Amino acid sequence: MRSTKVLLFFSVWLAVSTMGFAGGFVVADNSNNSTKETQVTIVTTAGTLRIKLYNGTPKHRDNFLKLVQDHFYDSTLFHRVIPEFMIQGGDPDSKKAGSDVPLGNGGPGYTIPAEIDPVNFYHKKGALAAARTDDRINPAKASSGSQFYIVEGRTFTDADLTTMEERMRNQQKQDLFGVLINKPEYLWLRTKFINYKKLQQTDSLIRLSKQIDSIIAPDLAKIPPFHFNAEQRKVYETIGGTPHLDGGYTVFGEVIEGLDIIDAIAHAKTLPGDRPETDIRILKMTIEK
């Protein structure tokens, strides 16, 4: 069992996915969170949504509002939908894209610094969050300048959430390892691991793991273990969401009307690549006065 965990730990780090677990986060400044939250209406071919934008994520809020004012999102598609997970949109390349055109790489040409606060802004059903590139090329978790997703998710049991907390703690450890091997004095760690794995030297991998554990331990001890608070557990057990994304992506708003529209879009019949078979288009977005 121990050797399996060693291989899994490093393999996950080397091949981390764009929607995987991520424990490191930057806490947003919530000092302006008491003012009135701006609301935006999203009219789509599947129905109308109303969202509110959090004041505790001002960079994402202001960027989103600027794009709405510029009509950036008008005529874009929800180009990726996955039932019990999320719906994704905001790619400007989707406006006139044929059904065979790959989507998901378009944007305004810039990124937004992460404003991740998994305590106050988490991935409950209806959460509005920023998409981003994966940790291998984006360790700071900077957000796409325009692409976003809205959570449909599902409900989880208390046991599910406890298991998830353990995985998130392992991710915190993986994040520290990622920082470690990017330091010149520790590049040998990655080289050794790759060689040991290639040669299937399990005993050597175990010894290397113990070395790394001792190096990481002081920094790991400074990070509070990831956990869901009582409110989050209640929401994830009753309303649902995608809790495994907490700490990895900036949540900057939520749907306040139209959750049934999210369900309908998420369960649309799709083509390969999770694009809806029949285009689901954002007709317009407007800021409510």
DSSP string over 39-107 = EEEEEETTEEEEEEE-TTSHHHHHHHHHHHHTT-STT-BEEEEETTTEEEE--GGGTT--TTS--S---
Average of per-residue pLDDT across 18-43: 59
| Residue pLDDT, tens place only, 170-204 | 888 888 887 787 788 888 888 888 899 889 999 99
CB 66 within 8 A of CB 38: no
Average of per-residue pLDDT across 206-212: 87
- How is the chain split into domains, by residue range? 2-17+159-221, 39-157+240-287
pLDDT of 231? 97
| DSSP code at position 146 | S
Q: Which of 10-14, 49-53, 193-197 has the lowest mean pLDDT?
A: 10-14
pLDDT of 34? 53
Average of per-residue pLDDT across 18-40: 54
Helix (H, G, I), strand (E, B) or coil at 187: helix
CATH classification for the domain delimited by 39-157+240-287, as one of 2.40.100.10, 3.40.50.620, 3.60.110.10, 1.10.10.10 = 2.40.100.10
| Residue pLDDT, tens place only, 87-140 | 999 999 999 999 888 999 999 999 999 999 999 999 999 999 999 998 878 988
Residue 145's pLDDT band (boundaries 50, 70, 90)? very high
Nearest to 104 by CA among 128, 85, 81: 81
